[in-house]
């Protein structure tokens, strides 16, 4: 089970005042949602001034992405991307289940900014899909919005895979260019935006749970904390929050290692707990915030075993379209599993070092890069543990052999359905 808490002293505009219950239209309107102002141009300026970055993984400036779609010829399409393939993340599914109107408000704002006349909500969670459909029945957004379900895989949320699936194909990445903002759904310029990004766009417009100007909406981020034998935790933290603060909040104040950004940010040692949730600080040490999933390894968990688990999951989730990705992830996973089992020689670790440096950028999506970063971060931050595994088997790894990443998965917090008057009327009709 996953619980929900806020970081002491930090604002929580996205979690809102009642995060355990789904928010219906009445509650969202009462909190200031769907305001007719500001106009699209003013809102875009506000997004740029706030420095809002995407929350799907790459952290790209939201205003730049919105302008790029707006300025393309043709009528754009906007997509709320709620398909989170990272096994340690639950924030997007929680948002769609608990605050669908906040996401849809942001989608409508993005449509107004870009000039889109239709949109999609893309996801794989049946519960979230039902909540979104009910919210759409409660409120006419203006642009025509369609809910598209897909299979839950690691690569299904990659933006070109999103476009491909909406167009009727498989949810698999395509070669780039063109990118979706140039030619996406049906050949139209397409904004593929993470649902948390859209929620924060709505808040910057003065929407629900953050009355007024939406100040601070761009300065916090949803994070999913797991590991250390503790129940997973969904929380919202300011970008100035240090990892040690989150580790203490999660109940693992002295972790052996940190698995950052889902499988995107690699492993960090305990000497890096002073790092804050800032893109520049994390990038400076070769890591990243990614989707905001952070796993703190406890005393009974080994970083070598965690890396083997994570890369095994990536190898299993490869889309099988790029030969270098299939062979590369499989080779890294096999060698890391051998290292965890005490059956790897120095030639194996030399290969791991070579792969971690030579494989990034050679696949159609970021899956291969994630595997290489995980491998390289293990070698860089835990050389003593790697050397120890070459000398003798590890008791921790033997007690928890790689399971293709199943232990990395986090359940979505239970969200009670809205039972307000509009929800009951919608259910009847």
pLDDT for 428 equals 34
- Residue 221 near residue 89 (C-beta atoms within 8 A): no
pLDDT for 420 equals 63
pLDDT for 19 equals 62
pLDDT for 426 equals 44
- Residue 181 near residue 199 (C-beta atoms within 8 A): no
Instruction: Specify which residues 2 forms β-bridges with.
Output: 232
DSSP run (H or E) holding 249: helix 243-250
End-to-end CA distance of the chain, in Å? 33
* pTM as predicted: 0.93
DSSP run (H or E) holding 79: strand 77-81
DSSP code of 44? H
**Residue pointed to by tokens 């005393």:** 299
- Residue 312 near residue 337 (C-beta atoms within 8 A): yes
- Residue 235 near residue 249 (C-beta atoms within 8 A): yes
Q: Is 332 left (phi over 0), alpha (psi -120 to 50) or beta?
A: alpha
How open is the CA angle 195-428-103, to the nearest 5 degrees? 10
Euclidean distance between CA atoms 309 and 323, whole angstroms: 22
**Reduced to 3 states, what is the DSSP secondary structure of residue 101?**
helix
pLDDT for 9 equals 64
How is residue 250 written in tokens? 């999660």
Who's near 312: CB < 8 A, 6+ residues apart?
A: 333, 336, 337, 402, 403, 404, 405
Could you please report the per-residue DSSP string of 158-205? SHHHHHHHHTTS-S----SSSPTTTS-GGGS-EEEEEHHHHHHHHHHT
Q: How far is CA 244 from CA 173, 255, 286, in A?
A: 36, 9, 18
Residue 242 CA, chain-centre distance (Å), reads 19
Give Rg (Cα) of the chain.
Answer: 21
Helices and strands (DSSP H and E) totals, the chain: 17, 10
Instruction: Specify which residues 416 forms β-bridges with.
Output: 21
Euclidean distance between CA atoms 283 and 261, whole angstroms: 12
pLDDT for 427 equals 40
Euclidean distance between CA atoms 399 and 256, whole angstroms: 16
Q: How far is CA 167 from CA 122, 163, 361, in A?
A: 12, 6, 26
- Residue 263 near residue 310 (C-beta atoms within 8 A): yes
- From the list 286, 275, 292, the residue with the least C-alpha distance to 88 is 292
pLDDT in tens, the chain (429 residues): 678 877 866 668 888 765 677 899 999 998 889 999 899 999 999 999 999 999 988 889 999 999 999 999 999 999 999 999 899 999 999 999 999 999 999 999 999 999 999 999 999 999 999 999 999 999 999 889 999 999 999 999 999 999 999 999 999 998 889 999 999 999 999 999 999 999 999 999 986 544 444 557 899 999 999 999 999 999 999 999 999 999 999 999 999 999 999 898 999 999 999 999 999 999 999 999 999 999 999 999 999 999 999 999 999 888 788 888 889 899 999 999 999 998 898 999 999 999 999 998 887 788 899 999 999 999 999 999 999 999 888 888 888 877 777 889 999 888 887 756 665 454 433
Who's near 116: CB < 8 A, 6+ residues apart?
A: 69, 75, 76, 77, 78, 110, 143, 191
How is residue 17 written in tokens? 């005042």
Strands in 144-149's sheet, in edge-to-edge order, are 144-149, 118-123, 77-81, 190-194
Euclidean distance between CA atoms 263 and 16, whole angstroms: 28
**Reduced to 3 states, what is the DSSP secondary structure of residue 271?**
helix
Could you please report the per-residue DSSP string of 351-408? HHHHHHHHSTT-SSSSHHHHHHHHHHHHHHH-HHHHHHHHHS--HHHHHS---TTGGG
**Reduced to 3 states, what is the DSSP secondary structure of residue 26?**
helix
Instruction: Specify which residues 222 forms β-bridges with.
Output: 236
**Alpha carbons within 13 A on the beta-carbon side of 110:** 39
């Amino acid at each position: 089970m996953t619980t929900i808490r806020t970081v002491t002293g930090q604002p929580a505009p996205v979690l809102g005042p009642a995060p355990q219950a789904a928010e219906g239209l009445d509650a969202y309107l009462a909190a200031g949602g769907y305001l007719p102002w500001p106009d699209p141009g003013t809102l875009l300026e506000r997004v740029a001034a706030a420095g809002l970055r995407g929350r799907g993984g790459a952290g790209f400036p939201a205003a730049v992405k919105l302008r790029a779609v707006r300025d393309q010829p043709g009528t754009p399409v906007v997509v709320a991307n709620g398909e989170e393939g990272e096994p340690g993340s639950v924030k997007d599914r929680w948002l769609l289940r608990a605050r669908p109107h906040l996401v849809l408000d942001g989608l409508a704002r993005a449509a107004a900014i870009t000039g889109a006349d239709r949109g999609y909500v893309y996801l794989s969670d049946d519960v979230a899909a039902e909540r979104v459909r009910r919210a759409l029945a409660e409120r006419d957004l203006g642009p025509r919005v369609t809910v598209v379900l897909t299979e839950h895989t690691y690569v299904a949320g990659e933006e070109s895979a999103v476009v491909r699936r909406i167009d009727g194909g498989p949810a698999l990445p395509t070669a780039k260019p063109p990118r979706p903002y140039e030619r996406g759904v049906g050949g139209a310029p397409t904004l593929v935006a993470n649902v948390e990004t859209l929620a924060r766009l709505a808040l910057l417009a003065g929407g629900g749970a953050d009355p007024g100007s939406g100040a601070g909406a761009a300065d916090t981020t949803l994070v999913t904390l797991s590991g250390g034998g503790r129940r997973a935790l969904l929380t919202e933290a300011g970008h100035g929050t240090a990892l040690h603060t989150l580790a203490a909040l999660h109940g693992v104040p002295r972790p052996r290692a940190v698995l950052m950004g889902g499988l995107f940010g690699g492993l960090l040692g305990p000497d890096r707990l002073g790092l804050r949730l800032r893109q520049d600080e994390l990038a400076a040490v070769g890591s990243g915030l990614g989707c905001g999933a952070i796993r703190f390894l406890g005393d009974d968990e080994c970083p070598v075993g965690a890396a083997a688990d994570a890369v095994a999951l990536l190898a299993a989730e490869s889309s099988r379209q790029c030969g270098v990705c299939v062979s590369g992830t499989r080779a890294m996973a096999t060698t890391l599993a051998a290292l965890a089992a005490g059956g790897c020689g120095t030639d194996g670790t030399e290969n791991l070092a070579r792969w971690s440096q030579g494989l990034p950028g050679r696949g159609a999506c970021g899956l291969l890069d994630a595997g290489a970063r995980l491998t390289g971060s293990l070698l860089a931050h835990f050389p003593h543990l790697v050397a120890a595994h070459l000398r003798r088997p590890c008791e921790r790894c033997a007690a928890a052999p790689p399971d293709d990443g199943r232990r990395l998965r986090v359940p979505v917090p239970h969200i009670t359905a809205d039972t307000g008057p509009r929800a009951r009327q919608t259910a009847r009709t």
